[in-house]
Amino acid sequence: MATKTVSPSKRGTSPSKTDPALDGGGCFSRVLAADTVPDTGLDLELRASEAECAALAQAYGLAAVDDLVASFDVRKQSRTRFKVVGNLRARVTQTCVVSLEPFETLVNADIDVDFAPLSRPIGQAAGPAPAAFLAGEDPPDPIIDGKIDLGALAAEFLTLNLDVYPRKPGVLFEGTEAGGEPSDKNSPFAVLRQRS
């Protein structure tokens, strides 16, 4: 099995937002040409640069992305279809929705995605397509212009594994107690409770 490091795009840390192969505004891109994957497979490890971490944090509304590493095993399933499995590890700083304090979160996500060429050109109206996958199975992600953007895949799994309403451990919503019941103090229903 071959091992390879995919370098950042030579376009810099902010590739064009019009490139359909990029995700997250194109802030983290590592493009792999599918035809370079050997029959024995390919192991890769990607690490976001400091500038890419800052761009990811801005794109996803995070206080900071302190570290992001993704490891991938890319294997051919057929001449045109590929399986990408791996793991994403990231250390991010989120802002608590209750206290507004920053706190660190560790993200650890397994990745398992199939890739295949687009069955129709981008922009062409979707119509009936031949069933290329089993019922209940997700369709493969597209290989665009013969390339798989592993950086965009890592960025996608980062955002999928972030808490939408992050709360710092130990912080409770004001006006609630540990059991989730409103406290009598400052409750608009406190007066009604006293009358009953």
What are the pLDDT digits (tens) for 149-172?
999 999 999 999 999 899 898 888
pLDDT band at 86 (very low <50, low <70, confident <90, very high): very high
pLDDT at 14: 35
Residue 94 confidence (pLDDT) above 90: yes
92 — phi, psi (to 5°)?
-125, 155
pLDDT digits (tens, 9 = 90+) for 14-40: 333 333 333 334 789 999 999 999 999
Residue at token pair 């900071």: 64
What 3 state SS string does the chain have? CEEECCCCCCCCCCCCCCCCCCCHHHCCCCEEEHHHCCCCCEEEEEECCHHHHHHHHHHCCCCEEEEEEEEEEEEECCCCCEEEEEEEEEEEEEECCCCCCEEEEEEEEEEEEEEEECCCCCCCCCCCCCCCCCCCCCCCEEEECCEEEHHHHHHHHHHHCCCCCCCCCCCCCCCECCCCCECCCCCCCHHHHHHC
Q: What share of the chain is helix, strand, coil (3-state, %, to 5)?
A: 15, 35, 50
Mean pLDDT, rounded, for 87-93? 98
pLDDT at 127: 44
pLDDT at 27: 87
Which of 22, 38, 63, 57 has the alpha carbon at shortest distance from 151? 22
Angstrom CA distances, 46 to 3, 29, 62, 127, 182, stand at 12, 10, 20, 37, 47
Which of 27, 29, 26 has the alpha carbon at shortest distance from 9? 29
pLDDT at 128: 43
Task: Name the token pair of 22.
Answer: 């990029």
pLDDT band at 191 (very low <50, low <70, confident <90, very high): low
pTM recorded for the entire structure: 0.70
Of residues 17 and 92, more confidence is placed in 92
Residue 187 confidence (pLDDT) above 60: no
